Amino acid sequence: MGIENAMKTIRTKRYLKFLVILLLSGGPGIVLSQPVPGPDENIPYLITFGKDSKTSWGDDDFSQTFFFTVPKDFKDPFYIRIFDPEIGGKTDELNNFWNTRTLYSVYGGRGCYTNPDAKGITPGGNYKSGTLLASRVFAMENKLDEQWYTFGPFNPADGEYYPKFSSNVFKIICDGLAGDDGNLYRYFLSRRPDTNIPIEGANAFTYEYTFRMWNNNDTSYVSHIYPFIDSGCIYIKQKNFDWDNDGDFIVVSTERKGQKLPLSNEDNWTDFNMPILDAEIGKSLDFRFYKRRGELVRNNNVVMSVENQYGENLQFFSAPIGGVPVYRPRIKATKK
Amino acid sequence: MKRSLIYSLILLLLVIRPIDIEAQAKGSFEVTPLSAVATNSDEFAPVIVEDGILFCSNRKTNPFTTHKNFEGIRLYDLFFAPFDEEGKPGKAVKFTAGLGKNTNIGPAYLSPDGNTLWFTRNYLEGTKLKKNQPNNLGIFTARKQGSGWTDITPFRYNDPSYNLSYPFVSSDGKYLFFASDMPGTLGKYDIFMSENSNGEWGKPVNLGNSVNSADAEIHPFLHSSGRLYFTSDRTGGQGGLDIWYSVSSAGSWSKPVVLSDPINSEADDFAYYAVSNGQEGYFSSNRRKFSDDIFRFATTIIRWSNCDTLQKNSYCYEFVEEKAILGDTLGLRYRWEWNFGDGTRASGIRTEHCFAGPGVYDVSLDMINLVTGGIEKRQASYELEIEDVEQPVINAPDRVTAGETFSLNAGDTYLPGMKIARYYWNFGDETEAVGIDVSKSFPVPGRYNIQLIVSSEPGAGGVIREVCVCRDIEVVSNGN
Q: Tell me the per-residue pLDDT of B30-70, one tens digit each, with 9 for 90 and over.
A: 899 988 888 888 999 999 988 899 999 988 877 666 666 66
Burial tier of B398 (Cβ tally within 10 Å: 0-12, 13-18, 19+): exposed
> Please, what is the Cα angle at A103 between A39 and A181, to 5 degrees?
80
Q: Which residues of A touch B333 (CB under 8 A)?
A: 248, 250, 258-260
Quote the pLDDT of residue B328. Answer: 60
Quote the pLDDT of residue B39. Answer: 87
Q: Write out B143-170 in H/E/C secondary structure.
A: EEECCEEEEEEECCCCCCCCCEEEEEEC
pLDDT bracket for residue B23 (50, 70, 90) = very low
Residue count of chain B? 480
CA atoms within 13 A on the CB side of B51: 7
Q: Which residues of B touch A250 (CB under 8 A)?
A: 333-334, 371
Quote the pLDDT of residue B480. Answer: 55
**Cβ contact B204:B193 at 8 Å:** yes
Quote the pLDDT of residue B127. Answer: 63
From CA A36, how far away is CA B466, in angstroms rounded? 74
Distances (CA, A) of A290 to A105, A285, B63: 33, 16, 116
Sequential pLDDT tens for chain A (336 residues): 444 554 444 444 433 333 233 333 333 344 555 899 999 999 999 999 999 999 999 999 999 999 999 999 999 999 999 999 999 999 999 999 999 999 999 999 999 999 999 999 999 999 999 999 999 999 999 999 999 999 999 999 999 999 999 999 999 999 999 999 999 999 999 999 999 999 999 999 999 999 999 988 877 789 999 999 999 999 999 999 999 989 999 999 999 998 999 999 999 999 999 999 999 999 999 999 999 888 888 999 999 999 999 999 999 999 999 999 999 999 999 998
Q: How far is A237 from chain B (nearest CA, A)?
A: 12
Interface confidence, given as ipTM, is 0.84
Quote the pLDDT of residue B429. Answer: 85
**Cβ contact A86:A185 at 8 Å:** no
Of the residues A256, A257, A335, the best mutation for testing chain B's interface (the one with the most B CB atoms within 10 Å of its CB) is A257
Quote the pLDDT of residue A180. Answer: 97
Q: List the one residue out of B60, B13, B70, B58 whose CA is nearest residue B291.
A: B58
Give the closest of B314, B331, B333 to A336, CB-based: B314
* Residue A299 DSSP symbol: T
In sequence order, what are the beta bridge partners of B164? B180
Q: Which residues of B touch A272 (CB under 8 A)?
A: 329-330
* Residue B111 DSSP symbol: -
**Please, which residues have CB within 8 angstroms of residue A120's CB and are 6 or more apart in sequence?**
A127, A207, A313
Q: How far is B179 from chain A (nearest CA, A)?
A: 55
The one-letter amino acid at B411: G
Tell if the CB–CB gap between A275 and B328 is shorter than 8 Å.
Answer: yes
From CA A23, how far away is CA A27, in angstroms rounded? 9
pLDDT bracket for residue B12 (50, 70, 90) = very low
From CA B144, how far away is CA B150, in angstroms rounded? 6
Q: Any idea which of A123-137, B12-26, B372-386, B433-447 has the lowest mean pLDDT?
A: B12-26
Q: Which residues of A touch B370 (CB under 8 A)?
A: 258
**Cβ contact B242:B218 at 8 Å:** no
How many CB atoms lie under 10 A from the CB of residue B248? Answer: 16
Q: Which secondary structure element, helix H or strand E, spans residue B468, and what is its range?
A: strand B466-476
Quote the pLDDT of residue A86. Answer: 97
* Strand ranges in B288-332 using DSSP code E only, listed in sequence order: 293-299, 308-309, 316-321
Residue B1 has pLDDT above 60, yes or no: no
Tell if the CB–CB gap between A261 and B372 is shorter than 8 Å.
Answer: no
Quote the pLDDT of residue B377. Answer: 96
Which tens digit of pLDDT belongs to each residue from B226-245?
889 999 999 999 989 999 99
Quote the pLDDT of residue B224. Answer: 83
Report the mean per-residue pLDDT for chain A.
Answer: 90
A–B CB contacts, 8 A cutoff, strictly below: 99
Q: How far is B334 from chain A (nearest CA, A)?
A: 5
The one-letter amino acid at A190: S
Tell if the CB–CB gap between B318 and A334 is shorter than 8 Å.
Answer: yes
Q: How far is B364 from chain A (nearest CA, A)?
A: 9
Q: Where are the alpha helices (DSSP H) in B13-98?
A: none
